[in-house]
Amino acid sequence: MSVVDRLFARWPRPLDPMRSFKVKVGLLVVAALLFASGGFWLTSQQPFRFALLTALFVALGVTQVLAHGMTSPLREMTAAAKAMARGDYSRRVRATSRDEVGELATAFNRMAEDLGADDRYRRELIGNVSHELRTPITALQAMLENIVDGVQDPNPETMRSALAQTERLGALVDDLLDLSKLEGGAMPLNPKMFEMKPFLDELMSQRRGGVVIDVSPASLSISADPDRLHQVVTNLLDNAVRHGGNDVHAVIRVRRDTAHAVVIDVHDDGPGIEPAARSEVFDRFIRGGSTDGGTGLGLAIAKWAVELHGGTIAVVDAHAGCCIRVILPQN
């Protein structure tokens, strides 16, 4: 924005309190006529041409002052839109008017903020995904080159290492697909009633390591989408292992609260999450101190799946380790 534009942007806008653009136009016409008549009357003793020119200049001046606040938001929006076309989403419009143009300016600013956030997310997505894909692809390429060159034998240990890298790639792709479906609203819920204890026992049978399951009462049933809930619990346990290592111990506690909602606590004895970072761990690509190359998508997907059920998810205080609490309302 040039110096002249900044100076014009600071001009007072006397008609901003008016709630209607039509009223503003009417006041503008009345004021221009009144001031022009006054100027003509003051110079009526002069030649007619001089008096007429004076009235015209007075009317133009009054119009310029009063109409500035009516049209400047439109000029600012035009300049901001041109800046957006160049990739600059930082421009904002002065939205002090209370009429229709002011509402348009407010909506324009919200749109600019949303577009800026989407642009930042797109850049972060490309950067993070590129980084995460590069690591396993580079490892796989190195192993395959060593095998082709005869430097390394294709023994079971090498194949297991290659398999681990491909599983890591597959998990990243699955996370991205789930994220895309959740954001696009293409992941509908199929809720059904089922018992939590058998559900968790089956889930734990597919995982390595011991996880303590505490369901009270043992016959507690829940109305939820089993696939989405499976996704939530799995991602929470993966998060515990990612931050605490394979030796971390986890406990899953399930109970009903006083509002008849089902409360699921996933508590591990890992290093925990700092209070200042608890509100951010469910954001996309926030790793929470993980150093194993995790994308941070797991907790974001868990949050969306919980919110699809109308529930809440949060990190709560624990005497040690980390405790993430999921609350699912029951109708």
Last-in-domain residue among 136, 160, 183: 183
Structural domain of 70: 3-113
The reported pLDDT for the residue numbered 292 is 45
Any domain includes 264: yes
Last-in-domain residue among 113, 138, 154: 113
Residue 28 structure tokens? 């503008």
For residue range 195-235, list pLDDT tens digits in order. 999 999 888 887 766 788 999 898 999 999 888 898 889 88
Residue 272, CB-side half-sphere exposure with 13 Å CA sphere: 9
Any domain includes 118: no
The reported pLDDT for the residue numbered 102 is 76
Angle at CA 143, nearest 5°, toward 139 and 145?
A: 115
Our count of domains for the chain comes to 3
Any domain includes 41: yes
The reported pLDDT for the residue numbered 15 is 63
Residue 74 structure tokens? 């439109």
- The stretch 132-153 carries a mean pLDDT of 82
Residues 247, 208: Cα–Cα separation, whole Å: 11
Residues 112, 90: Cα–Cα separation, whole Å: 8
Any domain includes 120: no
Any domain includes 78: yes
Find out whether 256 and 220 touch, Cβ atoms under 8 Å: yes
| CA dist list (Å): 288 to 124, 179, 278 | 16, 19, 9
Find out whether 329 and 261 touch, Cβ atoms under 8 Å: yes
Does 156 share its domain with 258? no
In this prediction, residue 5 has a pLDDT band, given cuts at 50, 70 and 90, of low
Does 209 share its domain with 322? yes
For residue range 286-306, list pLDDT tens digits in order. 544 444 444 557 788 888 889
Does 197 share its domain with 290? yes
Residues 91, 86: Cα–Cα separation, whole Å: 12
Does 234 share its domain with 320? yes
Does 159 share its domain with 210? no
The reported pLDDT for the residue numbered 265 is 92
- The stretch 164-169 carries a mean pLDDT of 80
Residues 266, 289: Cα–Cα separation, whole Å: 19
Report, in this order, helix, strand and coil percent for the chain, each rounded to 5. Answer: 55, 10, 30
Closest CA to 236 of 197, 264, 275: 264
Does 219 share its domain with 260? yes
CATH code for the domain of 318:
3.30.565.10
Find out whether 92 and 109 touch, Cβ atoms under 8 Å: yes
Does 204 share its domain with 277? yes
pLDDT of 69 strictly over 80: no
Q: What is the pTM of this model?
A: 0.55
